[in-house]
Structure 1
Amino acid sequence: MVTAAAASQLTLSATSNSTVAGSPYTFTATLLDPYGNAATGNVTLSSTDSKATFSPLTYAFTAADNGTHTFTNGATLFTAGAQTITGTDAADKISGNLPVTVTASTPAAFVVSGFPNTIAGVSHTFTVTAVDAYGNLLPSPAYTGTVALTTTDSKGTITPTPYTFQASDNDSATFTATLDTAGTQTITATDTTTPSITGTETGIVVTAAAAQSLQLAGFPSPQVAGTPGTVTATAFDQFGNVATGFTGTVTLTSTDPQASFVASSYAFTAADAGVHKFTNGVTLRTAGTQSITVTDTPDALTPGTDAGIVVTPAAAKSLQLTGFPTPQVAGTPGTVTATLYDPYGNVATGYTGIVTFTSSDPQASFAPVSYAFTGTDAGVHTFVNGATLKTAGTQSITATDSANATITGTDAGIVVTPAAAASLKLTGYPTPQVAGYSGSFTATAFDPYGNVATGYTGTVTLTSTDKQASFAPASYAFTAADAGVHTFKNGATLRTAGTQSITATDTVTPSIAGTDAGSSSPRRRPRPLSWPGTPPPRWPGPRGR
């Protein structure tokens, strides 16, 4: 019996030398010795198509194969074009090749490509190519479906879309897109009839354009006057992206004329990446609604403003007392207003301390003398008819916090004028006084508080306990020029010896009266005798009448 020699020939063959990408392909391997006898051996399959798969990858020929084995659906090729299937018997160092033409399958996807990393707002072209499931270009007839283009950039634009492929496109069309949103974006093409036919270009990096505007945000509100606050300045391009490359110099200002800044100007650095936080960088001091603005004048950027910042007053530091009328008639109640202020001139609306009133007028009275501010006062309380001054002249009223004497305020320069006359006072008549001799005295009108009633213009009548008394004049009408004081020069002559008094009484209001009591009139000296031819003797003192 003669057995076959070692295999020396390996031949691959098929009924068709073409296949469709992704479709199983059947072929036959023949293994012979040098004499044409059927041989045995192990055959391993491979292909120029790196995506190809085989089932099985290696096959061991047996005597039953009689030198021939058919690999039914044994190979699947995926890459369109001229490919080769190779069988190799490594032990016998022989191989055989089978040329196969692979054609693309039906449209299954799009390849979107060519859009580069870009700056926001810059337009670029890209291509959309129709391929089969394995990335092969389609055979004739070409893809003629309609595709819609979309992007993850909500601000991006793509033209044209939708678009119907033409046969002349040869499965590939060019489009233009503009992406505006910084970050990593994608562009997707989708068949409008068969949405499963789709493709995406990913990883498109869009960087911000040049800075065009500034934004300022983050300052606390409400904020107590004088308390530093943090604010953040951000540069944006025209599309609303943070302008990470901004390195301009910005300046901070405020509607608060008392505002202060740790750094009113700041030069952005590359490390800022378009955002800079001014930590405790701004202090506002004027109560009310304020704003802070950041500008970059050299680069003509649109300024940014952090508006609507409510600044509340700080704690009370001083007190102001105002409003008491001047001039004011003695004894007439007047209204005065106490206002508490913080260190920055704001009304200290949260003040709830106790203030006590005093005055340079020792006769002053207050209603009340002390007052506890309430929340509803909001730092301001008006004391209606709360102070009464009684001493004529220039006076002042002072309010002082009972716990902190440095919180005090004075309403000064208040001119208190005398009230209407309430009494008269007679003074100055000589005592003792010789009967029959005239003497001078002064009548002064006083208001109820001891002030000279400078406005008194009443008429007074003079009387005396001396029934023989005479007056020149017996009645007198005060004039404005008297200013409440009139001296009656030699105005009264008392004649009855003893202790006498002189009284002046208002003719209209008898309660307005005054008496100079205790005037003593000694008896009149007798005339001395004289002899003819001799001069009369002289008495010491004034000559009698």
Structure 2
Amino acid sequence: MKFKIKMMFFVILIILSSVSVAFGATRFLIQAPGETYNPGSQKSGTPNPQTAGVPFYVTVYSADDITWQLVSTNGTANLSATQSTTFSPNPATLSLTHGSVTTCKQYVQVTFAQSVNGDVRIDIPTSGGILPTSITITSQQIQSFSFATISSPQTAGNNISYTITALRTGGGVVTSFNGTAAITASYTGLTYTVAVGTAQFVNGVATGNVVLYDATEGSQVVTLTCTSTTPSATGSSNTFAVNANTLDRLLIIGPGQQIDPGKNSGNGRINSSTTTSQQTAGTYFYVTVYACDAYWNTVTSASGTVTLSSSDPNFSATPVTTAFSSGKAYIRVTLGTVGTQTLTATHNGTATSNTDNVPVVAGALHHFSFYQNIAANVTAGSNVYLYIVAQDAYNNTVTSFNSAVTIQVLAGGSPIDANNWSLTPTSPTFSSGLIAGTARVRIFQRLVNVTVRVTYSSITGESNIFNVNPAAFNKIILIAPGETYDPGDTTNGGKFGTPSNQTVGNPFSIVVYATDQYGNQITTINDTVRIESTDANALANGVTLPVRINLSGGTGTFNFIFQTSGVQSITVTDETTAVTPGTVNIQVSAATVHHFEIAGISSPQTAGNTTTMVIRALDAYNNLVTNYNGNVWVTSPDTDWSLPYETTIGLSGTNVELVGHRWHVTFTAGTGQKSVNISFYRSMTYTVKLFVSDNELDTPQSNIGHIGYSDPVLINHGSITKMQVIVPGMTARPGTLDGEDGTPMGQIVGQPFYVTVNACDAWWNIIRSGTGSTDTIQLTTNDNTNA
């Protein structure tokens, strides 16, 4: 048994030593388009030529250079080329696996520069122990695109065949190019091109068809251009003409329209216009009738005649029927009926008829006429309705006139005051050439030889002559200083001007007129009138209101004194005849400052809290003196300390400052009052009042200035906040910043003396009741020997 085992081992050794196993080195391998590589075999095939500027892909492997099996590496390949070339990625890191499959490869995008033409060797040097490799690929540079000759002429709307070849620099076809390129058409004389299709190249050659709908005219020719962006290349065909197709339809082009040829849609006019520009009745214009193919190109060889007709019964044309000349017919047209009229062109052959629309308006505006007279005598203020027609030079109604016009009232040929008449509406507008009673004037002043004039630009018209008579007694008019009596002026109530401002206590005069409703004085009125005012304290002729006076010849005068400032009215009512009373509103100013008022402080207040008060400057009648812009000084005589003086209140706000123990407040003109924030700091067991004066040195006892007081206010202490110790030589001063006055007196060692301890709020007011008023306190000292 042992023998057998040794023999087996021996045999195995012999076998191993008799087999020759070859192992190669690991090398990069590049597989290009056109080549085939299967692991275990060398790659086969020849690299296909590539188009310069067009990206393509190669595959980089790591393989055994004898067995050609893949070798698992994650090596890095640094690619370079003998001519300008870009690689992505570069360097390329090989991927060991792709899913569950061992790949040891990387795809690399390669782009030869567009300038490269000829063989390009791609190299990968040794990297990480992996041996180098290289490959040579031919780069084909496209020099241009070449069109096979396109015959001339071609026909609009028919297929135009093309063959385009991508030519290589140095000659030959760029057989590697299988991309696309845009085809455009350009017409001589035009600044734009027309996109007509895309050429698909196969092995460097593209064939196909394009269609052009726009025919050339005269010497005009077309060029097709083929343009590629990747790579950048271009080329153009020979020039050729495009003829119109066969006669298919007619087209009318009138004023304001343009033909839009070469379209396989639309109506043959730019922007698909269906209407010419507006035309005037009786004024001729020209139209052109075109003989067109199905794409609105002019068929210059068209024969036959065209006849023009219209929906307008007053239509005329010169000529009505005419033959085509080079595919066109020119016709002079006159229309005489207002509205949108149609023109229709008809061929004596097979061409489809065509219709166009023409908006027609009347002739130009020449004048206005009043087609209904105004009555010879008109009562002031009555409605005068206007019936006016806009006419051309031949007295035809210009129905297209729909504009606003200017209306004037004249007396003796001159315009009357604008306030003495009215117009409704203020800017009358014609409708279809008429104002048919939709406008009216009212004249409020007695006048003779009156006319109404209508104007538009420089065009006018004038009514018949008539008179305006006054109306009956209707109202009272008051004339105050600053106003002027103006009969017939209704805008300002029969007068103009603004009542002058009056001052409380100063007398002035008022004039009374008995008038018709438009302010014309009625001299036969001698009625009794009653004088009243919104100022209940006012006086008329020195007597308390109401006061009565008698008019004489429709007028009267009385003196008046206001006692209340503000806007006040005076009203005079006729007690004999029921007419509208007369009223005048007058701005009444207060007199000079007489005293001050402090308002807005409620009671009680808590020491230290802030509230708002208002200081008002008043005249002797308690009117607010709004123009007061002086200074006042505010004190609290009941709470302020003296000897030395020290304030126990605090004021804040604009233009507020503390001067000594008085608070200085400056008014701003325009209001007569000043809002100020106030805080009371000293609590009292009785009510107190604030004192204000415009004299800095004034006191409640001296009264040397204009003074005022607040209502009584009770000031309560706040919550307990701190303790106060008052020793001999010092006194408590509640309501001040430090709460005390004086200097502690010296004491003799061993001799007893008294101190006062106060429980205080934040402003040193003694807490006389409530929390803290009965608390136990502990008194300490820094004298260690104190007993």
TM (normalized to structure 1)? 0.45
- Radius of gyration: which is bigger? 1
Q: Which has the higher strand share?
A: 1
Relative contact order, CA 8 A, sep 6+: which one is greater?
1
